Amino acid sequence: MSRMRRTEVSAYVPCYNCAKYLGVVLSGLEKQTYKPVEIIVVDDGSSQDVKSIAEVHGARYVRHTTNMGLAAARNTGVKASSAEVVASVDADVVAGPSWLETLMKWVDVGYAGAGGKLIEINCATLPDRWRCINMRQYPESQKPLKNVMLAGSNTVFRRDYLGMGYDEKFRTNGEDMDMDRRILAAGGTLVYEPRAVAYHLRSDTYFSVARNIWAWATVDRRSLSSSKSLLVHIARKSGYLVSLAMRNAFEGKLWASGMSLSFIPLFIGFSLEAYRQARATRPGA
């Protein structure tokens, strides 16, 4: 693959209360061998001081006055950007120096989008080890894979494929896979490139990893507005944890299997909380 010309790229970082990571994330974008023409920080209603960190790194700062969710933050980042290609990394993801250059080799030859390999760097504690085992965000392949679903943690897309916008019903997750499906349906091509490496800075507690895996398994919380939908949701998501526990046990990770099962009461509690919120915000409530 050879690049015919050097395409301009805008980069944005959606951020909600991730100030402790943001400085090193922006430094990673500044050190790219393929320089973005601009870096934008989208502050999705954080209670932390995100603006001063963005300003120190010369990034453009855009703020939502209230927390609107990840899909809305992505839409704001795309709209605020100017280049024909839009790159993004999450606010706890540091791109390796050649990350953008490696992905652009695909986009410059006509691919709609490309995503890289996200390596977990915090896997020492039990909650972090559980996340590293059960929440991996890349395919198990040493070679590029075409037309696969790309996790949104570190991606590059041609602007014309993002014109449809991210679906804002996906507040915390799921917006990336939904966009991938729509790009593929529109005839665009996607590629996973394992040589484009980024690093995940996240570190979890027992409670936060349980909340995070529940969010992964619950893409549209607004649907939890009836007793029937709540019961179906709890049954399905508890079954998901059981399947994880069985896989962990089969791999000989009995500690991870036990942890997976221990999340079930928390899943029920999180689902009840989402049910109450959905009932309170539905029309006519």
Reported residue count of the chain is 285
pLDDT score of 282: 62
pLDDT score of 285: 47
Task: Record the pTM.
Answer: 0.90
With CA atoms as reference, report the closest residue to 42 among 190, 184, 166, 194.
166
pLDDT tens profile 202-259: 999 999 999 999 887 665 566 667 888 888 888 988 999 999 999 999 999 999 999 9
Q: Please tell me the chain's helix, strand, coil percentages from 3-state DSSP, rounded to the nearest 5.
A: 45, 20, 35
Q: Which parts of the chain register pLDDT below 70?
A: 1-5, 217-224, 281-285
Domain ranges of the chain: 9-200, 206-281
pLDDT score of 2: 47
pLDDT score of 163: 87
**Topology adopted by domain 9-200:** Spore Coat Polysaccharide Biosynthesis Protein SpsA; Chain A (3.90.550)
Contact assessment for residue 39 and residue 12, using Cβ atoms and an 8 Å cutoff: yes
H/E element holding 255? helix 254-262
DSSP 84-148: SEEEEE-TTEEE-TTHHHHHHHHHTTT-SEEEEEEEE----SHHHHHHHHH---S-S-SS-EES-
d(CA 196, CA 103) in angstroms, rounded, equals 6
pLDDT tens profile 194-206: 999 999 999 999 9
pLDDT score of 276: 87
Q: Between the CA atoms of 154, 158, 163 and 165, what dihedral angle is there, to the nearest 10 degrees? A: -10
